[in-house]
Amino acid sequence: MGSVALLSSLTLGVNSAQADATVQQSSASVEVQTSTGSETNTKETTSADISVNQNVSNVEDGSKHSESSVASSNSISKENEYVSSESKENTSSVSTTVQSFSEVSQHLSQKIATSLSSNTTQLKNGWYSEKDNWYYYNNNMQKGWFQGGNDWYYFNPINGQMQKSWLQGGNDWYYFNPVSGRMQKNWLQGGDDWYYFNPISGHMQKSWLQGGNDWYYFSPISGHMQKSWLQGGNDWYYFSPTSGHMQKGWLQGGNDWYYFNPVSGRMQRGYAYINGVNYNFSNSGRQILNYSIDYRYALPAGKGDDETAANNYLILHEVGTESGAATNARYFHDTVDTNEAYVTFVVGDGGKVYQVGRPGQVSWGAGRVANHNAPVQIELGRTYNSGQFWQDYVTYVRVARDMAGKYGIPLTLDAGGAGTRGIKSHYWVTKNIWGDHVDPYGYLSRFSVTQAKLAHDLLYGV
What average pLDDT does this structure show over 365-383?
98
Per-residue pLDDT at 123: 56
pLDDT, tens digit, 9 for 90 and up, residues 117-175: 334 445 568 999 998 999 999 889 999 999 999 999 999 999 999 999 999 999 999 99
**Same domain, yes or no: 339 and 268:** no
Query: Taking all residues of the chain, what is their mean pLDDT, rounded to a whole number?
Result: 81
What average pLDDT does this structure show over 54-70?
36
**Same domain, yes or no: 432 and 309:** yes
Q: Is-contact 272 287, C-beta < 8 A?
A: no
Which runs of consecutive H residues, i.e. helices, occur in 263-385?
325-334, 368-371
Q: Is-contact 414 403, C-beta < 8 A?
A: no
Q: Per-residue confidence at 383, pLDDT binned at 50, 70, 90?
A: very high
Q: Is-contact 174 197, C-beta < 8 A?
A: yes
CATH code, 387: 3.40.80.10
Tell me if 175 is assigned to some domain: no
Tell me if 23 is assigned to some domain: no
What is the C-alpha to C-alpha distance for residues 208 and 219, in angstroms, rounded to an integer? 9
- Ramachandran area for residue 207 (φ above 0: left; ψ -120 to 50: alpha; else beta): left
Q: Per-residue confidence at 457, pLDDT binned at 50, 70, 90?
A: very high
What is the C-alpha to C-alpha distance for residues 259 and 203, in angstroms, rounded to an integer? 33
> What residues contact 60, with CB distance under 8 A and at least 6 apart?
15
**Same domain, yes or no: 260 and 300:** no
Q: Per-residue confidence at 374, pLDDT binned at 50, 70, 90?
A: very high
**Same domain, yes or no: 350 and 413:** yes
Counting the structural domains of the chain, the total is 2
Q: Per-residue confidence at 39, pLDDT binned at 50, 70, 90?
A: very low
pLDDT, tens digit, 9 for 90 and up, residues 66-109: 333 333 333 333 333 333 333 333 333 333 333 333 443 343 33
> pTM for the whole thing?
0.70
**Same domain, yes or no: 312 and 329:** yes
Tell me if 105 is assigned to some domain: no
SS3 sequence, 99-122?
HHHHHHHHHHHHHHHHHHHHCHHH
Determine what percent of the chain is predicted with pLDDT higher than 90: 72
**Same domain, yes or no: 268 and 391:** no
**Same domain, yes or no: 268 and 336:** no
Nearest to 317 by CA among 360, 372, 361, 374: 374
Tell me if 268 is assigned to some domain: yes
Q: Which of 288, 316, 346 is the last residue before a domain boundary?
A: 288
What is the C-alpha to C-alpha distance for residues 184 and 201, in angstroms, rounded to an integer? 10
Per-residue pLDDT at 150: 94
**Same domain, yes or no: 261 and 360:** no
- DSSP assigned state of 58: G
Cis peptide before 440, with omega less than 30 degrees from 0? yes
> What residues contact 1, with CB distance under 8 A and at least 6 apart?
none
Tell me if 154 is assigned to some domain: no
**Same domain, yes or no: 279 and 369:** no
What is the C-alpha to C-alpha distance for residues 226 and 207, in angstroms, rounded to an integer? 9
CATH code, 262: 2.10.270.10
> Residue 399 above 90 pLDDT?
yes
Per-residue pLDDT at 125: 87
Tell me if 311 is assigned to some domain: yes
Domain span at residue 273 reads 248-288
Tell me if 162 is assigned to some domain: no
Tell me if 118 is assigned to some domain: no
Q: Which of 238, 272, 288 is the last residue before a domain boundary?
A: 288
**Same domain, yes or no: 355 and 451:** yes
Q: Which of 288, 313, 342 is the last residue before a domain boundary?
A: 288
**Same domain, yes or no: 451 and 359:** yes
**Same domain, yes or no: 278 and 356:** no
What average pLDDT does this structure show over 7-13?
35
Residue 289, Cβ density class (10 Å: 0-12 exposed, 13-18 middle, ≥19 buried): middle
What is the C-alpha to C-alpha distance for residues 449 and 396, in angstroms, rounded to an integer? 13
What average pLDDT does this structure show over 45-54?
34
